[in-house]
Amino acid sequence: MSNAKAQKSVLWDWLTTVDHKKIGILYLVSGGFFFALGGLEAILMRIQLMFPNLGFVSAQTFNELLTMHGTTMIFLAAMPLLFGFMNYIVPLQIGARDVAFPFLNSLGFWLFLFGGILINLSWFLGGAPDAGWTAYVPLSSEYSGTGIDYYVLGLQISGLGTLISGINFLVTIINMRAPGMSMMRMPLFTWSSFVASALILFAFPALTVGLLLLMLERLFGATYFAVDFGGNVVIWQHLFWIFGHPEVYILILPAFGIFSEILATFSKKRLFGYSAMVFATLIIGFLGFMVWAHHMFTVGIGPVANAIFAVATMAIAVPTGIKIFNWLFTLWGGRIQFTTANLFAIGFIPSFVMGGVTGVMLATSAANYQFHDTYFVVAHFHYVIIGGVVLGLFAGAFYWWPRMFGYKLNETLGKWFFWLFLFGFHLTFFVQHFVGLMGMPRRVASYLPGQGLDSLNFVSSVGAILMSVAFILFLVNVVVSVKNKSEADPWDGRTLEWGIPTPTPEYNFAQTPLVRELDALWYEKMHGNGKLKAAEPLDDIHMPNGSILPIFMSLGLFIAAFGLIYHVIPVTVIGLGITLGAMFIRSIKEDHGYHIHKEDIKKEEGVG
């Protein structure tokens, strides 16, 4: 049965795959595409703001650009790219052959992709959403065109995919760990993915409800937010930020995990204060739910409420500080190798601390009245998201590239890329603190000359151009390094994913490994023969069959969304029919998967 697979075409294989490694790469490719798209939107905005009173894009286009930049970067770039790493690496790190629900994993990916495509199609069909990525009502409910409908339905569909993936990771990490891999022996990237997935599970329902209310209001004339009918506009802001604040931690926690892996590997030391790191991750995840109103200090929720949320917000600095010190102590006295991945991790520490410090400034609710809606806020969240998440993504890319693609990225080009990107990033956003303190509001299409804003905005735009040059250098690196074949364990790694042959076999582990310590592979290198011990005899491996149904389920929702946006009921019915039909087929069709035989495994592993 196992040979039947090899005959299928490559394209069909990728469209129907349920293998966590291939889905991880699909996430990385599509997330990378949306990242480039969001970057392009940012560059267009920075060109418009390079000089005062420039007419490079119209004010309406500028609104659409800023909305799509935020939406794309958060929902369609950062999160899917992290999902890519989580998909590929987490099962390997816990010694599993796949995630708990391979079919759902594929469904989660295709829902995300179709949702993302739907949002971006709005550019060609009557204008993109233009109410900011937060889509505050009544601007988004009463004063915007069909762009917001694309936003609402696209996010609803891709949000469904995210929720499915989050649940999948939770079940995988709880149930699929190899023998001996207790919770407190899990690598920190797995731990932070676990906490981030729990945040997805609890935070996304708030977004789903908010988007549902907005959809009912826009498409069916409901009045939840319409003040003249007794509605309340602040409800949207609450619902959005109850989701929106944990979302920030959904992004940053996996990045923290990536840095923890890299700093330990390239310092040749065990991660300092492992249990404190786990504890801090949990506390950050928990506190992330208790602080959403700090986005709404100026709404007028009252001084006591403001004070409570201000204090809760500042409290998050404590576990984050624990993490920063633990990273520094991991480096302390270590045999540090300055690889590109480690440079990104080391560059992250001061960059992120700066974002954290402005975060505490913004949390001071009295001062917030001054900072609110200025470029100071823009500078702050770009410092945490680029200085934290994006540097983490690039660090992870350089670190895990040999594992995922079998070749090493060029280190010289990589270091050029790092320095250019870091320099460009600080150039772009450091000056924006001052632009904001001088009073330039965010989300405006232009500014007047002679107000002291000209030169700082120019500097900021130059930095943005440097960042895009750096990113192009990264893409060049990906292409020119292909011949740079890598061995299975190029970094002298510590965790399970480096203990298997390269390219990673379809079944990951020929025999489920036995885990004896934290940093399982390192322990075997120090106390064993350097090879992972097996927890089971070599036997046939049961594998799931691929399926094309996830694409049809997602396509159905995609079509139904068009029917809703243009009020054509038959199209909606057809779309939902396709989705439900695919679900029905999935339910009644028995699919037992197939086996990879012991002999084939022996041949591939080169034993016996």
Q: Residue 243 CB, nearest distance to other proteins (Å)?
A: 11
Distances (CA, A) of 500 to 97, 495, 512, 605: 12, 10, 11, 10
Query: DSSP string of 499-561?
Result: SS-SSPPTTS-SSPEEP-SSSHHHHHHHHSSSSPEESS----EEEPPP-SHHHHHHHHHHHHH
The residue among 533, 532, 540 whose CA lies nearest residue 597 is: 540
For residue 422, what are the contacts with CB-CB under 8 A and spacing of at least 6? 347, 351, 391
283: contact with other proteins by CB under 8 A: no
- Provide CB contacts within 8 A for 171, sequence distance 6+: 100, 101
CB of 197 to other proteins, least distance (A): 11
198 scored as a contact of other proteins (CB under 8 A): yes
Please identify which residue in 29, 40, 47, 301 interacts with other proteins, judged by CB under 8 A: 301
Candidate ranges 300-308, 390-398, 426-434, 487-495; the one touching other proteins (CB under 8 A): 300-308
- Measured in residues, the chain has a length of 608
Whole-angstrom distance, CA of residue 473 vs CA of residue 478: 9
Q: Does residue number 304 form part of the binding site for other proteins (CB under 8 A)?
A: yes
Q: Using only C-alpha atoms, what is the Rg of the chain?
A: 24
Residues from 238 through 277 that contact other proteins (CB under 8 A):
238, 242
Q: Which is nearer to other proteins, 300 or 439 (CB)?
A: 300
Measured in whole angstroms, how far is the alpha carbon of residue 256 from the centre of its chain? 12
Provide the CB-side half-sphere exposure for 27 (13 A, CA): 34
157 to 196: interface string for other proteins, x by CB under 8 A: -------------x---x----------------------
Run of H or E residues at 596 = strand 594-596
How far is the first Cα of the chain from the last one, in angstroms, to the nearest whole number?
A: 22
Q: Between 199 and 565, name the residue whose CB sits nearer to other proteins.
A: 199
Interatomic CA distance for residues 256 and 321, integer angstroms: 12
Position 287 contacts other proteins (CB under 8 A): no
**Which span sits near other proteins by CB under 8 A: 219-227, 295-303, 384-392, 456-464?**
295-303
Measured from the CB atom, the residue of 44 and 305 that comes closer to other proteins is 305
Q: Between residues 308 and 413, which has the closer beta carbon with respect to other proteins?
A: 308
- Structure tokens belonging to residue 155: 């996010």
Q: Which two tokens stand for residue 331?
A: 């480096």
If one asks whether residue 235 binds other proteins (CB under 8 A), the answer comes out as yes
Residue 126: other Cβ atoms inside 10 A:
13
CB neighbour class for 487 (10 Å; exposed up to 12, middle 13-18, buried from 19): exposed
**Candidate ranges 70-78, 109-117, 302-310, 338-346; the one touching other proteins (CB under 8 A):** 302-310
Interacting span for other proteins (CB under 8 A) from 3-11, 227-235, 254-262, 570-578: 227-235
Among 305, 459, 555, 574, the residue binding other proteins under the rule CB under 8 A is 305
Give me the sign of the Cα torsion angle 243, 246, 252, 258: negative
The residue range among 52-60, 288-296, 421-429, 486-494 that interacts with other proteins, by the rule CB under 8 A, is 288-296
Q: Does 42 bind other proteins (CB under 8 A)?
A: no
Residue 312 is a binding residue for other proteins (CB under 8 A): no
State the minimum distance, in angstroms, from the CB of residue 167 to other proteins: 10
Task: Rule CB under 8 A: choose which of 29, 40, 234, 514 binds other proteins.
Answer: 234
Closer Cβ to other proteins, 190 or 460, answer by number = 190
3-state secondary structure of 27: helix
Residues that bind other proteins (CB under 8 A): 170, 174, 198, 201-202, 206, 232, 234-235, 238, 242, 289-290, 293, 300-305
